[in-house]
Amino acid sequence: MILLTIFAAILAGCGVRSNSQVASEPGREAADSSSAEGHSMAVREIAVRPDEGVGPGQAGDRYDRIVENAFVAVASQPLSTFSIDVDTASYAKTRMYLMKNHMLPPPDAVRIEELVNYFVYDYQGPRGEAPFSTEVEVARCPWKPNHLLAKIGVQAARLDIEARPPSNLVFLLDVSGSMNHPDKLPLLKRGMKMLVDQLTENDRVAIVVYAGAAGLVLDATSGDQKQTILDAFSALKAGGSTNGGKGVQLAYRVALEHFIPGGVNRVLLCTDGDFNVGVTSPGELIRFAEKQAGRGVRLSVLGFGMGNHNDSLLEQLSNKADGNYAFIDDYQEARKVLVEQLSGTLVTVAKDVKIQVEFNPAQVAAYRLIGYENRLLQAEDFNDDQKDAGEIGAGLSVTALYEIVPVGVTTDVKAGHVDQLKYQSRSAPSDAAQSSELFTVKLRYKPPQSDASQLISLPVENHTTPFADASPDFKFAAAVAAFGMLLRESAHCGEATWESVLRLAREGSQQKSDAYRAEFIEMVGQAKTLASVASVSR
């Protein structure tokens, strides 16, 4: 009776309808970036951006400002510390801007680490007890040949789909009026169908929806009752304002009621991020989600659509709620996140993962971490087990890049320095500084069910490879990073150009047939065209 009452409220407040009323769902739209029509569209849309808001309920896309990491002098700051990030939302968002909307993305939409981490690299999996492996490659930097580029790769243990632990999943679906667009609610429903097809009798699924009100459409249901679950999805339509805070609270309550000890307990928030009524304070929502993560319920955020996408809030929610953040711009991306990487999306193999790199002052004069601007930590946070950090899912990888200025190299890089200290002297280099080590990589992580961290340490010798002899993965990751810097109009682009990015990307893709890398090359070509048009129109 309670469920019937709530469902009636959903019919009125959230706009539930029958299967026959569901709008048709378009497939992926192809973009011809080489056509004259595409060029003229680029000129028109540079003047009027659909992401800036187009009317009531369309507030425009919102991004946090990114302040690019600067070079740091090793003499004053030898430690670089950050939390890992396996999010990929920025890459899919960038692709949508370039390929579907024929425009360059706003600089703050481009998080370079998310571009780099979108791709699969040939990292070897862990062989010992640790849930992930770590490997490092150093070569000459392609955009600053007198500098070095270091690539740190972390590969989580892969998990067979049959070995996935039982899951308690609560789908939290935004059915507000702003979701009434082909690339929002209809695409969301197609993605949920793909995910449901992967579930078994070991899984439980509940569906919570929110618009002007929040309600439970489907209580925890066995994953093998697929038609029941799919019928609940297909009955939804968009309408009303967005009381996202109420929905988040109800979803977590349902997840805790059906909690599976030792299993996967996760809320999957699917939204364009427009929380405009009820509890809308980002701080309040983030603190609430962070508290629930401490109780064992994690959060996955799937963003949809342009013109009303609150990227800023969704990224913060996923960061603090021990979760991950993806953006679904088309059917293929839904398949990648919800089918190809299902275990990585749902199953956490290590939590609160932090990286700290200590540079040898006898070998390195300065360094710059490329990306991860909103993941930086204080040096002392590395050993603080109370400090929250990132999670890594089964089978996923994390890549970090450092641009390094070797000692004795002539460079135009300006690294910050401080005055001579009045009350103490700087510590002298240790005997280890006289070794051939370039730096040491340390990682701290916690097993998913533990609150005590474990340490991994890996010294890296100064055996620099000429860039021409670097691995294909190194070349491709460098191409993606340079692409991000060009899109952001970075002060550190050096000799990077659209042509050099295309060349590196092709060299990094020669030894494998990878549709995602091929698509990236198309994106670079489109960005080159759009950048040329934009420069002419200025």
Least confident of 22-36, 70-84, 307-321, 343-357: 22-36
Flag the least confident range among 28-42, 334-348, 408-422: 28-42
The answer to whether residue 397 is domain-embedded is yes
Q: Which tens digit of pLDDT belongs to each residue from 439-455?
A: 999 999 999 989 999 99
Look at residue 60 in the predicted model and tell me its pLDDT.
Answer: 73
Indicate whether 172 and 307 sit together in one domain: yes
Where does a domain end: 346, 371, 394? 346
Same domain, 259 and 369: no
Per residue in 473-483, pLDDT tens? Answer: 999 999 999 99
pTM of the model: 0.86
**Short-list 405, 483, 460, CA closest to 116:** 483
325 belongs to a structural domain:
yes
Judgement on whether residues 502 and 371 belong to the same structural domain of the protein: yes
One domain, residues 139 and 209: no
Q: Out of 197-206, 487-496, 529-538, pick the least confident.
A: 529-538
The phi and psi torsions of 403 (rounded to 5 degrees) equal -95, 130
| 489 belongs to a structural domain | yes
What is the DSSP secondary structure assignment for residue 272, as one 8-state letter?
A: -
> Could you tell me what percent of the chain has a pLDDT over 90?
65
- The answer to whether residues 252 and 148 belong to one domain is no
**139-192 per-position pLDDT tens digit:** 999 999 999 999 999 999 998 877 899 999 999 998 888 888 889 999 999 999
Parallel/antiparallel/unpaired status of strands 167-174 and 144-156: unpaired
DSSP reduced 3-state for 139? strand
> How many domains does the chain contain in total?
2
C-alpha neighbours within 13 Å on the C-beta side of residue 123: 28
Instruction: For tokens 């021990």, name the residue.
Output: 322
Dist CA 141 CA 133 (whole Å): 24
Whether residue 136 has pLDDT greater than 90: yes
Q: Give the pLDDT band (50/70/90) at residue 36.
A: very low
- Of 299, 319, 346, the residue at which a domain comes to its end is 346
Q: Of 297, 312, 346, which closes a domain? A: 346
Per-residue pLDDT tens digits for 219-232: 999 999 999 999 99
Q: Specify whether 333 is located in the same domain as 360.
A: no
Residue 401 in any domain: the answer is yes
The whole-chain average pLDDT of the chain stands at 86
Most confidently modeled of 14-18, 19-23, 159-163, 207-211?
Answer: 207-211
Q: Is the same domain home to 134 and 237?
A: no
**Shared-domain flag, residues 303 and 391:** no
Q: Residue 394 pLDDT > 60, yes or no?
A: yes
490 vs 505: CA distance, rounded Å = 19
Shared domain check, 316 and 213: yes
Range of the domain at 317: 166-346
CATH number at residue 297: 3.40.50.410
Asked if residue 480 lies in contact with residue 471, where contact means CB atoms within 8 angstroms, the answer is: no
List Cβ neighbours of 33 (8 Å cut-off, separation of 6 or more). 98, 99, 102, 522, 525, 526, 529, 530
| Residue 65 placed within a domain | no
- Element of type H or E holding 123: none
| Judgement on whether residues 98 and 204 belong to the same structural domain of the protein | no
- Same-domain status, 325 and 354: no
Q: Over 90: is that where the pLDDT of 7 sits?
A: no
295 plus 370 within the same structural domain: no
Residue at 22 is within a domain? no
Q: What does 75-120 look like in DSSP terms, one character per residue?
A: TT--EEEEE-----HHHHHHHIIIIIS-SPPPGGG--HHHHHTTS-
Ordered DSSP codes for 443-510: EEEE-TT-SS-EEEEEEEE--PBPGGGS-HHHHHHHHHHHHHHHHTT-TT-TT--HHHHHHHHHHTTT
The answer to whether residue 49 is domain-embedded is no
Residue 51 is assigned to a structural domain of this protein: no
